[in-house]
Structure 1
Amino acid sequence: MAPTSAPLRTDERPSPAASTAPKPAPRISKPRISKPRVSRPAPTGLWALIIAGGYAAGLAADAFGLPAPYLLSSLLVGAVLALCGVVRDRLPAPTHRASQALVGALMGSYLTPSALVSAAPVALPLTVVTAATIALSVAVAWFLARGGRISRPSAVLGLVPGGSAAIVTCADELKADVRLVAFTQYLRVGLVATTAPLAAHWLTSASSAAGGHPASGGGAGPGLLHVVAGSDQLTGLFALAVIAVAGSWAGRRLRVPTPLLIGPMLVALAATLSGAVPGFAPVGVLQNAVFVLVGLDVGVRFTRRTLVSVRRLLPPILVCMAVVCLGCAGLAWVFARVTGTPIMDAYLATTPGGINAVLATAVSTHADVALVSTVQSLRLLAVILVTPLIARLLASRWSQP
C-alpha cells in the first residue's frame, strides 16, 4: 500500500525563518491625477491673421458706408471668433498696451487750447450731467440687486459707466463677484460700441434733414504712408512713440486710473498745449488699425463659457443697461437744449462708455472730439474715485439679500 501522508497538525508553530521573512507589500494602485487644462494663448501668427481680417472687414464695411466701420466690424469679428472657440484669451499684452497708449495719445491731441476754451462755458452743465449719470447707474443697480441673485457691490460695479479695467480690478477688494462685474462691464462697452455709431449716424442724418449743417466728410483721407498728422512722418512717429512710452510710465508711477490710457493722454495734452511737438496724432492706416484693436479687444471677451455662466442673469442685466443708456440719452437731449450743443456731440459725450469705442465713433463721424474726450475723461476719473465709496456704503448700510 502507498504510504499515507501525515495529517496536518494545527498545534505546530511556523519556523523562525518563516516568521521573519518579509511579506510582500500589497500593491496599491495610485490614482492618476489629471492636470488641469490651461488654455494656451493663441500664437502670434494667428493673432496677426485675426487683426488683418478685422482690418479687411473694416475696409468692406467702409465701402458699404457703415458708421465707425473699423470699430464695428472688428468687434463683430472678435465676438464671432470667441463664440466659435477660435480664440479663448484676450489680445496679446504688448498689442493691448500699445493700442491703449495710442488711443490716449489720440485723445490728448484733440484737447487743443481753443477746444478747452470752447468747452469752458458748459463746464457746469457737464458736471451736473456727469453726477446725474452716476446717480442713475447706482439707482438702477440698486433695483437690480433687489432681485436677490446679485449683490449690491457687484451690481453697482457692473453698471457704473467708465473705467472698465479699473472697476474690475477693485471688484475683488470690495467683495464683489469679479467674473460677473467683468462680464457686465464689457457687455455694456460692447452694447455702447455697437449702438453708438448707429445712433450717431441716425442723429447726423436727422440733423441734415432738418436743415442743420452735416458733418464734413473726411475726403479721400491720407495715403498709406501718411500715418501721423504732421508733414514730417519720421519726426511725428518718433514723437508719438515717446509720448506713448513716457505716458504709460508716468501713468503707472502716478497710479492714475487706467494708466495706459490716461497717462499718454496727459502727456499728449501737455505736448499739444505747448505747441513744441509736431503733429503726432495717428491718422489714416495707423488710426484705423488702432480702432481695429479696440474693437477686437471688446469682441473677444464674449466667449461661450462666459455667456453660459451668466445666462440666467443676462435678461435683467440687459434691461438695466437699456434703462441706463436711455437715461443717458435723455440727459444728452437736456444738455443739448440747455447749452445749444449739437445733439450728436452731446449724445457721444454722455453715452455710458467705453471711452475707446466712443472716441473711435466721434472721430469716424466727425463729431466734436475735444468735447467728447473731455467729458468722457472727466467722468472716468469721477467714477474711479466715487464708485468704491458708493459700493462700500451700500454693502455696509443695507444687509445683503
Structure 2
Amino acid sequence: MGVPASWIVAFLVSFGAYAILSDRQTTPPPTLMQPAQVVIAMVCVAPLSQLDGATVVGYIVPTVLALVVTLAVCAAAAFLLYRSGAASAVSSLLATLAGGASGMTVLAAELKEDVRFVVLTQYLRMSLVVLTLPVFVHFFAGGGDEFGGGTSADGDAPAWWDPGLHPALGALVIWAAVWVTVRLTRRVVTLPVPYLLLAMLLTWVAGLAGVPDQWLRPEGLVLVLAYAVIGVQAGGTLTVSALRQFSHSLPLILSAVAAMILGAILAAVLIAYSSGIPLIDAYLATVPGGIYAVLAFAHDAGSEPIVTVVQVMRTLAMLVIGAYLPTVIGWWGRRRHT
C-alpha cells in the first residue's frame, strides 16, 4: 500500500482491535519500550549531526510557529473540556497537551489529578493521530510515491530480513552503548522521557565524533521490532471499559482531538507557505502527539530534519508547561479574586 512505517500501522490496528474486542489493555513492558525508544531516537537524530548553522537558523521560525499554534489549540481544547465539567482545569490541560503522553500521565499522578481521564484522552489522541497518519501522509504528499523533501528511506534501506552484516553489527554496538549509558545516567541527568531525549543527545554527539552514519541508523529486524512495539503502545491502550467509563465526555474528547489535528494542519500550511518546507514535512513536524510513531514515519518517508527538531522542542516545551501548570493556574485564580 506504500505506507511509511507500515509495521507501526499494522500492529496499531491489530492490537487496537484486540483491545476493543477483548476489552483487555495491552501495554509493552519497559524492557521492550525502552530499547525501542532508543532505536527510534537513533534513526531520527542521526541526520541532525550533518546540519549547518544556516539550516538550524532557518528552523527557528517554523519551530516557534508550531509551538505557538499547538499550545493555542491545546489550550482551547482544554478550556472546552473544563467548561463542560468533564475534568478540572489542570486535568483538562494535562489531558490535551500534545507532548509525551506518558510524561503527562506521570505528572497527573504527581499532581493528584484525574489520572484515568488524562490517560484516556492522551492515548485516544495518540491512537487517532497515528491511525490517521497514513492518510495525511498520502494526501499531503500528493498521492505520489515520494514523500517529504528527500528520497523515501525504504528505497535505500536493505530488506528488513537481510540487512548488511557490518552496518547491522555496528548499529547494534552503538545502540547497546547508548542504551546502557542512558540506563546508567537517567537518574543523574533528570530529563523527561530520557530514553528518547538522552538517546538523541548521545547519538548526535556520536555523529559529531565521527562514528559512521550507517552505524547510527539501525535497520533490518531491529527497526521492525521497534516499530512493532510502538504500534502496540499506540493501539493496545484503549478498551471498551475505559471508553464506557467516560462515555459522557467522549464526544467532547473526540471534538478536542479533531480540533488539535485541524490546528496541526493549519500550522503545517503556514509553515510550508512561509518557509518553503514541503507540506508533508511541515505536517509531520506539527502533528499533535505520538512522537515515536511520527519520527518513525518521518524516517521512513525521507523527511527533512525539521520534523525531529520541532517534535523534540514541542515535547520539551509541553512537559515544562505541564510541570508548572498548578503554579500558573493558582496565580491566575488569585489574580481574578483580587
How many residues align? The count is 332
CA pair 206-233 structure 1, distance change in 2 beyond 3 A: closer
CA pair 145-281 structure 1, distance change in 2 beyond 3 A: same
**TM-score, structure 2 normalization:** 0.89
CA RMSD, 1 decimal: 2.6
Could you say which residue in structure 2 is the equivalent of 1:20?
none
Is 1:315 matched up with 2:251?
Answer: yes
Q: In the TM superposition, what is the alpha-carbon distance from 1:223 to its structure 2 partner?
A: 3.9
Is 1:276 matched up with 2:218?
Answer: no
Query: Is the CA contact 2:23–2:241 (under 8 Å) kept in the aligned structure 1?
Result: no
Is 1:74 matched up with 2:15?
Answer: no
Matching residue's letter, 1:371: I
State the identity as a percent.
Answer: 28
| Partner deviation per Cα, 1:80-102 (whole Å, 9 max, x = no partner) | 12223385441133112221222
CA pair 394-227 structure 1, distance change in 2 beyond 3 A: farther
- Using the alignment, how far apart are the partners of 2:203 and 2:327 within structure 1? 35
Query: For residues 1-400 of structure 1, what are the structure 2 equivalents within 5 Å?
Result: 64-85=1-22, 87-114=24-51, 117-205=54-142, 215-216=151-152, 218-219=154-155, 221-224=157-160, 226-227=162-163, 231-276=166-211, 279-368=215-304, 370-394=305-329, 397-398=332-333
SS at match of 1:218: helix
- Using the alignment, how far apart are the partners of 1:186 and 1:395 within structure 2? 27
CA pair 153-384 structure 1, distance change in 2 beyond 3 A: same
- Using the alignment, how far apart are the partners of 2:240 and 2:135 within structure 1? 26
Report which stretch shifted further, 99-108 or 267-276.
99-108
- Using the alignment, how far apart are the partners of 2:20 and 2:42 within structure 1? 32
Query: Is the CA contact 1:154–1:171 (under 8 Å) kept in the aligned structure 2?
Result: yes
- Using the alignment, how far apart are the partners of 1:224 and 1:323 within structure 2? 37
- Name the structure where helix makes up a greater proportion of residues: 2
Q: In the TM superposition, what is the alpha-carbon distance from 1:220 to its structure 2 partner?
A: 7.3
SS at match of 1:252: coil
Query: Is the CA contact 1:102–1:282 (under 8 Å) kept in the aligned structure 2?
Result: yes
Report which stretch shifted further, 128-137 or 161-170.
128-137
| Partner deviation per Cα, 1:148-206 (whole Å, 9 max, x = no partner) | 23211111000110111111101123332001101111111111111122101111125
Q: In the TM superposition, what is the alpha-carbon distance from 1:276 to its structure 2 partner?
A: 3.2
- Using the alignment, how far apart are the partners of 2:167 and 2:55 within structure 1? 29
**TM-score, structure 1 normalization:** 0.76
Q: In the TM superposition, what is the alpha-carbon distance from 1:286 to its structure 2 partner?
A: 1.9
- Runs (5+) with no aligned partner, structure 1: 1-63
CA pair 214-260 structure 1, distance change in 2 beyond 3 A: closer
- Structure whose CA Rg is larger: 1
